[in-house]
Amino acid sequence: MRPMKTACFCAALFCLVTAPSWAANDALAQAQSVPTGERVANYLQTMLTAVGQLLIIKHPPGMISDSNNTYRATVLYDPDRKVIQISLIGTQTDPKTLKALLEFTKDEVLSLNKTIQKDFGATLGDTDIDISYLNVAMNKTLLSYKDGRYSQDIKLEDGPVSKPSASDNSVPGGNINGMP
């Protein structure tokens, strides 16, 4: 008789502990309309994750000098501006490398237009994507591509940017907490 009471007690405890999670799953299962931009951004996030892994093999000459200079991409949809925002995060500082990386990313995204058109009924153009590069070590956005044009958020013409000292708290152009 004692093992039966223990089993019943365990079953009751299990139900009490897991009941709130069942309620949360119902909320996740609610059908809602998702904007096409959100769906495209999710698709691009998946594709750019794969491209990031392939970048060591397929990259413009001089874009990666060693395996420590990789990058990560975050893709979001901005419903107010109706654009796809791509944030690249890494440790590059060389202006030519940064521009090559943004250009490579833009070209890869635009090369997916055939699939985007087929699966989502949309086509992306140069002005439909914003790309920014955040140097995580410096906590600064170094280069942006917006409305079909490049803009440097800090001066890069004189070659690679030096890394800030530990006491440097300035964050022009964006920061790691408020991702540009």
Task: Residue 58: give its domain's CATH number.
Answer: 3.30.300
In whole angstroms, give the CA distance from residue 109 to residue 99. Answer: 15
In whole angstroms, give the CA distance from residue 47 to residue 51. Answer: 6
Query: Is 175 in contact with 138 (CB distance < 8 Å)?
Result: no
What does pTM read for this prediction? 0.66
Residue 33 banded pLDDT, cuts 50, 70, 90: confident
Cβ neighbours of 106 (radius 10 Å):
17
What integer is the mean pLDDT of 10-34? 65
Q: How many domains does the chain have?
A: 1
pLDDT at 76 (0 to 100): 96
What integer is the mean pLDDT of 91-112? 89
Query: Is 128 in contact with 85 (CB distance < 8 Å)?
Result: no
In whole angstroms, give the CA distance from residue 143 to residue 177. Answer: 18
Domain presence at residue 147: yes
Query: Is 140 in contact with 154 (CB distance < 8 Å)?
Result: yes
In whole angstroms, give the CA distance from residue 159 to residue 113. Answer: 34
Domain presence at residue 163: no
Domain presence at residue 2: no
Domain presence at residue 127: yes
Query: Is 99 in contact with 147 (CB distance < 8 Å)?
Result: no
pLDDT at 173 (0 to 100): 36
Residue 12 banded pLDDT, cuts 50, 70, 90: low
pLDDT tens digits, 44-75: 999 988 876 666 566 555 555 444 566 788 99
Residue 78: how many CA atoms within 13 Å on its side-chain side? 16
Domain presence at residue 58: yes
**Domain range enclosing 112:** 36-152
Query: Is 125 in contact with 113 (CB distance < 8 Å)?
Result: no
pLDDT at 140 (0 to 100): 93
In whole angstroms, give the CA distance from residue 106 to residue 145. Answer: 9
In whole angstroms, give the CA distance from residue 140 to residue 149. Answer: 19
Domain presence at residue 15: no
Domain presence at residue 79: yes
Domain presence at residue 21: no
Residue 178 banded pLDDT, cuts 50, 70, 90: very low
pLDDT tens digits, 123-169: 999 999 999 999 999 999 999 999 989 886 555 444 444 443 333 33
